[in-house]
Amino acid sequence: MKSASIETDVGLLIKALDLKKDDRVLDIACGQGRHTNYLAQRGYRADGVDFSSYLIDLAQKETLPNGKNNPKYFIGDVENLDLKEKYTKAFWFFSDFAGINLKSAICSIGKYIISGRNLLIDSDNLFRIIEYFYKNKKSKYKFDPKTFELIDNNSKIHVPYPTYEMWQRMFFKNNFNIISVL
């Protein structure tokens, strides 16, 4: 039995991307394949990619045989994808952009999305960062207002928090259209 959370998440993905059974769907940074496997079980043709071989192994172990809709899983770097397939739709859900060059990632993803070029990105936003700093006066993080990046003072990892205009430039440069922002 699936949790209400996965049903809610997948319901949102189906609605937001207007998924049809004949779409080829790519789950970017799929982790252990929760969404990919659930979409496949519901009759969608979904594949997943993640940089972690450990998580890809978990995703493959959770795959239930269902004929033609068995998901394929790939190990890959979102900034430099090397996939065998092209997809009609893709999603990057519960995105963690730590250490990622988003311009390179959007360009890389764009090479594998065809026919409508629909890509859903679920990300954190700047307002949560402001709230975090308001509540945590002493923090191991700092925010760079010039680059719109959260920086871990210890590890020096940078996490981008693009503004709408920054997303718009990245998307338009790679032939994506912004349909909505929630």
Strand partners, 26: 47, 90
| CA-based nearest residue to 47, from 61, 28, 64, 62 | 28
Q: What is the pLDDT along the chain (182 residues), one digit of tens a residue?
A: 456 798 999 999 999 999 999 999 999 999 999 999 999 999 999 999 999 999 999 999 988 776 667 899 999 999 999 999 999 999 998 888 988 999 999 999 999 998 667 899 988 878 888 888 889 888 899 999 999 999 999 999 999 989 889 999 999 898 887 877 77
Strand partners, 143: 150
Strand partners, 158: 151
Instruction: Give the CATH H-level superfamily of domain 4-124.
Output: Vaccinia Virus protein VP39 (3.40.50.150)
Three-state secondary-structure class, residue 180:
coil
Task: Name the token pair of 46.
Answer: 């979904």
Backbone angles phi, psi at 72, to 5 degrees: -105, 145
Q: How far apart are CA 47 and CA 90, in angstroms?
A: 9
| pTM score of the predicted model | 0.88
Query: DSSP label at 45?
Result: E
